[in-house]
Structure 1
Amino acid sequence: MQPEIFEYQFTVPKSAIDEMHHVNNVVYLQWVQDIAKKHWESKTSEKIRETYVWVVLNHLIKYHHAAFENDVLTIQTWIDHHRGVKSERHTKIINSTTNKLIVSAKTSWCLLLKETLRPARITDEISTLFG
């Protein structure tokens, strides 16, 4: 079964550009986290978001090409698999004009109960939402 891909398109703002005149590596990391949050919020109810929170265990980011101010980028994310309290999310950032892959990332996340900040098993309800 193919994972459902969540997608978002945006234009690179001036604030993302570093002294080398391209998007700073730290900005890509922020975008990886931002798209994960957008995906989570698009699929879950307020009740679920009040009960659970995600924390990052690790990121693996590969930088393939540079992006520049005013480039139009498409960012895609999907859940590859999950087990117990952990989930693996993949993200791609693609230049929408050239179709070049800019960044690929794999992030391991851990689900926590928001009230106690203790790990929580990923429920069938949550799993089904991201099927």
Structure 2
Amino acid sequence: MTNVFTLTITVSSEDIDNLHHVNNLVYVKWMDKIATTHWAHLTKEFPLPQYIWVVMRHEIDYLKQAGLGDEITVKTWVGETKGITSVRFMEFYRKEVLLVKAKTRWAMLDAKTFKPVRIRDNVMKVLYP
């Protein structure tokens, strides 16, 4: 795990389902939030507005539950990147307890045409500083 980006989230009442824990769909929202926040962080010095990312696939393992008021630390990092796709890993922790781990395959698109674009050196330099 290199170049790990971290975000902290506090579980609110809107995140809780009728089983009194964080709903699975909330984790997907959080995954999108941390991915876009990380991309914004990576590109703050060298913006790349000509590209957008879209999800192709999520793999999520729900290991433990989180409840109201829990402080969740989310860690993310970029894995294999080639062609038009990039893999992003995420782990959700309450203190040192791993709650959820996920792997998402993203595709890069041209922001104007919405057509897939090959990931070039300018993006690679941002993803792997």
Question: TM-score band, normalised by the shorter chain?
Answer: over 0.9
Structure 2 distance, partners of 1:105, 1:118, is: 26
Give the ranges of 4+ consecutive aligned residues of structure 1 lying more than 4 Å apart after TM superposition: none
Structure 2 distance, partners of 1:32, 1:52, is: 19
Among 103, 110, 122, the residue aligned to 2:119: 122
Structure 2 distance, partners of 1:47, 1:87, is: 18
1:83 Cα deviation after fit = 0.6
- The AA in structure 1 aligned to 2:112 is E
CA contact (8 A) 1:3 1:80 kept: no
Structure 1 distance, partners of 2:118, 2:4, is: 23
- The AA in structure 2 aligned to 1:61 is I
For structure 1, list consecutive stretches of 5 or more residues without a partner in the other structure.
none
Deviations 1:44-100 (A, max 9, x none): 14741x21100100000000000001001100110011011100000000002xx11
The equivalences for 1:47-66 within 5 A come to: 47-48=47-48, 50-66=49-65
The TM-score, its normalising length taken from structure 1, stands at 0.92
Q: What is the RMSD computed on CA atoms of the aligned residues?
A: 1.2
Among 104, 107, 110, the residue aligned to 2:107: 110
How many residues align? The count is 127
The TM-score, its normalising length taken from structure 2, stands at 0.94
Q: Percent of aligned pairs with the same residue?
A: 35
CA contact (8 A) 1:77 1:90 kept: yes
CA contact (8 A) 1:12 1:71 kept: yes
Structure 2 distance, partners of 1:6, 1:89, is: 11
For structure 2, list consecutive stretches of 5 or more residues without a partner in the other structure.
none
Deviations 1:87-120 (A, max 9, x none): 0000000002xx1111000000000001000111
Deviations 1:25-47 (A, max 9, x none): 00011111110000001111474
- The AA in structure 2 aligned to 1:84 is G
